[in-house]
Amino acid sequence: MGTRAGGRRTGPKCIAIVGPFASGKTTLLEAILARTGAIPRQNPVSSGNTVSDHSPEARAHAMSVEATFATTEFMGEQLTFVDCPGSIEFAFEAEPVLAACDVAVVVAEADEKKIPALQLIMRKLDDLGVPRILFLNKVDKAIAGVRETLKMLQPASSVPLLLRQIPLRKDGVVIGSIDLALERAYVYREYAESQVAEIPDDDKARELEARFSMLETLADHDDQLMEQLLEEIEPPKDAIFDDLAADLRAGTVTPVLIGTAEKGNGVLRLLKTIRHDAPDVGATRKRLGVPDGNQTVVQVMKTIHTAHGGKLSVSRMLSGQLADAAELFLSNGDTTKVSGIYKMLGKDQSKLSSAKAGDTVALGKLDNVRTGQTLSSAKGGTKPLFTLEPPQPVFAFALRPKERKDEVKMSAAIQRLAEEDPSLNLHHNQDSAETVLSGHGEMHLRVVRERLEGKNQIPIEGHSPAVPYRETIRKSAQQRGRHKKQSGGHGQFGDVVIEIKPLPRGLGFQFTDTITGGVVPKTYIQSVETGIRDYLKSGPLGFPVVDVAVNLSDGSYHAVDSSDMAFQMAAKLAMKEGMAACSPVLLEPIMKVEIVTPSDATSRIIALIPQRRGQILGYDARPDWPGWDVVEATMPQAEIGDLIIELRSATAGVASYKAGFDHMAELTGRLADEAMNANGKAA
């Protein structure tokens, strides 16, 4: 025993702070920075003056909306903490951070409603292989005991939650903690280092029981410790600390520390655990598969566009060294040049002359570099270490500047915002001529709009994107179309007879001809098809026409006056008159929807689906996700626009969905009238 961990990992470390919304992540970061002397005092979140509240949007909504980086020193070692947003709408901010960090501090509290959100975070850490420490916050306000709380939280974690501290109480009030490894009590002092004390006699039995439980869990991975416990031999303290460090680094346990970040309580023990037990950049290199060698390898965690300093790429130095003005290679072989190296403390930066392995720094003006990319000093670059895959968007709006002169400015601003937030999706809908921005929730896109209007000074108009309605026909008809015009010189003449028939759903458009005797020359048959296709872009109801077959059966031509354009016009006239006789009907897109939800909210989700004209196909337990279900349904696209708002409201902000086109279905009555009126057509 005593050699599993291989000693303390020194050097710079990067620590992600994650957790459910409003669990106290920003408060914990403030407490850490105040305790390490990076800031003069701990600012309460309510003041709107914390390191993470440097954006107007964060202050306005009292929530973190982007990852915030802060580098400090503790006991002679450099630590960079990254405060990641807790809302699921901004959760994607954490992905490139978690990929390159050494350890995560998961901030949680004794709130059963937040367990699904905690489970989402823990699952992401599992997927990325990131070791984690759980900081059980707000212990002074918890009603349940700590061990009862851990039983409640354990389903959210795939590995055992290992309690390292228990509360020290006096008259029912938490006044400190008892460290189970050190067997020492600490009495809290507000915003100051705790005072060491003896374990009270009344708490010794409770401490021994909790300590034995901790050692039993550690013994699952240490045969020698297991033998000592069976033989009732007291294991050496240094061996216990070695096991704690080894199991944290291996990810086989999640150590649990307690405290109240708002008062700075428990922060010092957390910092010491990070310093002594957490892995370093060497373990992160191994996890990411950084190639051996002397080259510099850099992973980009976040892109920021500053008002005066331009673009900054906040990056983790995984190996090697980096000097200002150094040349780096992207994975595709392109080159980029560093223009400034900076240490980050929220919105503030201080310039550095160089960076080394383990450092988390901002690199200036890497214009062709994006978040999630891997840079290297090796010519030709190195393979990407991490693939950034944004989840499917669940909310969208169409936007345009209030003034046309701002169109180019808006496009450039959105491009910068998309560099900062790769989860944004922007596309131009050719059918509706709309610019559609999509993301991960109503608040997500609200913040984007606020940044366009505030930071970029571009007034925006926004509305729900148009639904891609189509129209088809129920009956067949035959129609002649004749275009004849004489205006001196060559005239225009085209004459066609067409047969219009409905097709089965999904077959689109088919064109044939049964011309005999050359009544319509082959030269002009293609012109007829072109005219018909042009008409089908907007049928009698005002929408593109689908599932229609048209046959050119007869017609006539003039040797001098007939032309390509004349037959196109004749075809359009025939379609315009003939389609009205074919009982046109509106079609709406129906989507296949897969909703993931905590099981205790499944009944509420099932109840809301019919309210949106949806049909439930079934539901089942979500594979490998205890306490979650998957609900499958079909639903009109028109009803999905704000679906995510209702889903999140019913599930404490954690449900989500995926949707894909399934089929088109007829739409009649009031809803069809509304769709046509909105499109500028009378019903």
| pLDDT confidence of residue 119 | 96
DSSP one-letter string for 157-169: -SS-EEE-EEEEE
Distance, in Å, from the CA atom of 234 to the CA atom of 438, rounded to the nearest integer, reads: 59
- pLDDT tens per residue, range 100-117: 999 999 999 999 999 999
Residue 545: DSSP 8-state: B
| pLDDT confidence of residue 683 | 38
pLDDT band at 1 (very low <50, low <70, confident <90, very high): very low
Task: Please count the residues of the chain.
Answer: 683
Q: Could you count the other beta carbons within 10 Å of the beta carbon of residue 682?
A: 8
Give the HSE-up count for residue 463: Cα atoms under 13 Å, Cβ half-sphere: 9
| pLDDT confidence of residue 488 | 64
Please answer whether residues 657 and 597 qualify as being in contact, where contact means their C-beta atoms are separated by less than 8 angstroms.
no
Distance, in Å, from the CA atom of 253 to the CA atom of 246, rounded to the nearest integer, reads: 9
Distance, in Å, from the CA atom of 611 to the CA atom of 508, rounded to the nearest integer, reads: 31
Give the HSE-up count for residue 498: Cα atoms under 13 Å, Cβ half-sphere: 33
Would the pLDDT of 490 be above 80? no
Q: Which amino acid is it at 197?
A: A
Look up tokens 């570099």; give the residue. Answer: 369
At the topology level of CATH, where does 13-279 sit?
Answer: Rossmann fold (3.40.50)
Task: State the average pLDDT over residues 147-163.
Answer: 95
pLDDT band at 47 (very low <50, low <70, confident <90, very high): confident
16 bridge partner residues: 82, 104
Would the pLDDT of 634 be above 50? yes
- pLDDT tens per residue, range 416-464: 999 999 999 999 888 888 999 999 999 999 999 999 998 889 999 999 9
Q: If you compute the radius of gyration of the chain from its CA atoms, what whole number of angstroms results?
A: 32
Q: List the one residue out of 157, 83, 148 whose CA is nearest residue 120.
A: 157
At the topology level of CATH, where does 395-463 sit?
Answer: Alpha-Beta Plaits (3.30.70)
> Collapsing DSSP states into helix, strand and coil, what is residue 7?
coil
- pLDDT tens per residue, range 529-550: 999 999 999 999 999 999 999 9
- The helix or strand, by DSSP H or E, that contains position 564, with its residue range, turns out to be helix 564-579
% of residues, the chain, pLDDT over 70: 99
Q: Which amino acid is it at 342?
A: Y
Distance, in Å, from the CA atom of 478 to the CA atom of 57, rounded to the nearest integer, reads: 61
| pLDDT confidence of residue 7 | 87
DSSP one-letter string for 608-625: HHHHTT-EEEEEEEPTT-
Would the pLDDT of 681 be above 60? no
Phi, psi of 635 (to 5 degrees): -155, 140
Q: 3-state SS of 9-23?
A: CCCCEEEEEECCCCC
Angle, helices 115-128/146-153, rounded to nearest 10 degrees: 70
Task: State the average pLDDT over residues 29-40.
Answer: 96
Task: State the average pLDDT over residues 45-52.
Answer: 85
Pick 597 or 232 by higher pLDDT.
597
Q: List the one residue out of 133, 208, 206, 141 whose CA is nearest residue 168.
A: 206
Would the pLDDT of 628 be above 50? yes
Q: What is the dihedral of CA 322, 327, 331, 333, to 10 degrees?
A: -160
Would the pLDDT of 224 be above 90? yes
| pLDDT confidence of residue 196 | 95
Task: State the average pLDDT over residues 148-170.
Answer: 95
Look up tokens 């200036």; give the residue. Answer: 364
Residue 256: DSSP 8-state: E
Would the pLDDT of 680 be above 80? no
The domain ranges of the chain are: 13-279, 285-376, 395-463, 471-582, 587-682
Would the pLDDT of 465 be above 60? yes
Please answer whether residues 467 and 447 qualify as being in contact, where contact means their C-beta atoms are separated by less than 8 angstroms.
no
At the topology level of CATH, where does 471-582 sit?
Answer: Ribosomal Protein S5; domain 2 (3.30.230)
Strand 628-636 relative to strand 615-621, pairing: antiparallel
Distance, in Å, from the CA atom of 137 to the CA atom of 517, rounded to the nearest integer, reads: 88
Distance, in Å, from the CA atom of 490 to the CA atom of 561, rounded to the nearest integer, reads: 6
Tokens of 535: 């008409």
Q: List the one residue out of 262, 257, 258, 267 whose CA is nearest residue 139.
A: 258
Distance of CA 104 to the CA centre of its chain: 18
Least confident of 350-354, 560-564, 630-634: 560-564
CATH number of 587-682: 3.30.70.240
Specify the CATH architecture of the domain 285-376: Beta Barrel (2.40)
- pLDDT tens per residue, range 267-317: 999 999 999 999 999 999 999 999 887 899 999 999 999 887 789 999 999
Distance, in Å, from the CA atom of 579 to the CA atom of 250, rounded to the nearest integer, reads: 69
- Reported for 334-340, long-range contacts at CB under 8 A and 24+ positions apart, including other chains, are 334/368, 334/381, 336/366, 336/367, 336/368, 336/369, 336/375, 337/365, 337/366, 338/363, 338/364, 338/365, 338/366, 339/363, 339/364, 339/365, 339/366, 340/309, 340/364, 340/365
Q: Do domains 13-279 and 395-463 have the same CATH topology?
A: no
Q: Could you count the other beta carbons within 10 Å of the beta carbon of residue 355?
A: 27
Strand 165-170 relative to strand 173-179, pairing: antiparallel
Tokens of 28: 């914990």
